């Protein structure tokens, strides 16, 4: 087995990276392999030097890749060469000598509380299976702050109505428990009633959200649903499920929630990933200051 295939097996079976992440890593490494073979006459990936990696970085930047995109690819190389080093396939990690391109901090897009209110109280969701499902999907995103993949893979057994919480399987199969309130509870119960009228009783291991034909819902459809409804109420540049996740975190922080608690709810592995939301709240602080300070 060649080193690349061995690495993909390693991150798939031992590290248990998600299928999406494994595909991205494989694509990055195949791009790098093609570049060093074609442009630099390097026959094997493990023979690449730090100079070869730098040349690839310059090539990517020159063809228009953003520093953010390039840094993600460098992260793939770091993981790959650490694997080679740990298995004694190489003696020196070439990525250690590589300086990553600087990137500007991109603050997450989020919706105002008034826009969320409008979405849930002013938009007319049709009184059909699809209309009720779509409203429940958006309510679930906002109430739980979950990722797109987490919503798609939610099963009926994950909901605990007695304790009013949901079990979510996040990145790297890490479980977390998220509480929910009366709005989502009512939404779930209405949706499940309509679901059973259309498709029969929900079993424990069955997916919560399905298509109009009763099949497990897929990411592209959920994205379209969310995009359509955000577009009705907001001018925010991005209109994706992740924007509602950002909105969930920002609104919690604006209302005084502890940053560590938000970290646990979002399923972040470190606080650094959550701290980006403190930047988005500075505008809120300025607004409060200007309204409340006598000499503002």
Which positions are catalytic? Answer: 147, 171, 242, 245, 268, 277
The b-or-e profile of 218-239 (16+ CB within 10 A means b, else e) is eeeebeebbeebbeebbebeeb
Token pair 């310059």 is found at: 58
Considering only the C-alpha atoms of the chain, give the largest distance between any 2 of them, rounded to a whole number of Å.
71
Cα separation, 195 vs 202, whole angstroms: 8
Helix (H) or strand (E) holding 234: none
Secondary structure E strands in the chain: 159-160, 165-169, 175-179
Which strands make up the sheet holding 159-160, listed edge to edge?
Answer: 159-160, 165-169, 175-179
Of the candidates 6, 4, 104, 95, the residue with the CA atom closest to the CA atom of residue 56: 95
The β-bridge relationship of strands 159-160 and 165-169 is antiparallel
């Amino acid at each position: 087995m060649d080193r690349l295939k061995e690495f993909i097996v390693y991150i798939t079976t031992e590290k248990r990276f998600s299928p999406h992440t494994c595909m991205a890593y494989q694509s990055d490494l195949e791009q790098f392999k093609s570049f060093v073979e074609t442009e630099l006459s390097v026959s094997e990936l493990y023979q690449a030097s730090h100079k070869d990696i730098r040349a690839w970085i310059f090539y990517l930047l020159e063809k228009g890749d953003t520093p953010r995109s390039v840094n993600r690819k460098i992260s793939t190389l770091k993981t790959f060469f650490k694997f080679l080093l740990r298995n004694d396939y190489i003696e020196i990690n070439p990525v250690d000598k590589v300086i990553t391109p600087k990137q500007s901090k991109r603050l997450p897009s989020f919706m105002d509380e008034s826009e969320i209110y409008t979405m849930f109280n002013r938009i007319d969701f049709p009184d059909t299976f699809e209309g009720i499902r779509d409203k429940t999907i958006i309510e679930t995103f906002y109430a739980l702050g979950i990722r797109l993949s987490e919503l798609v893979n939610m099963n009926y057994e994950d909901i605990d109505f007695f304790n009013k919480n949901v079990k979510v399987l996040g990145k790297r199969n890490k479980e977390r428990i998220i509480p929910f309130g009366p709005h989502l509870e009512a939404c779930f119960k209405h949706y499940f009633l309509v679901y059973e009228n259309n498709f029969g009783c929900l079993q424990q291991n069955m997916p919560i959200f399905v298509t109009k034909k009763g099949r497990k819902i897929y990411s592209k459809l959920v994205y379209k649903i969310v995009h359509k409804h955000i577009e009705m109420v907001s001018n925010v540049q991005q209109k994706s499920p992740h924007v509602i996740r950002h909105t969930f975190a920002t609104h919690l922080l604006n209302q005084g929630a502890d940053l560590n608690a938000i970290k646990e709810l979002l399923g972040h592995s470190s606080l650094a990933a959550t701290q980006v939301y403190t930047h988005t709240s500075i505008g809120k602080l300025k607004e409060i200051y200007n309204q409340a300070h006598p000499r503002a």
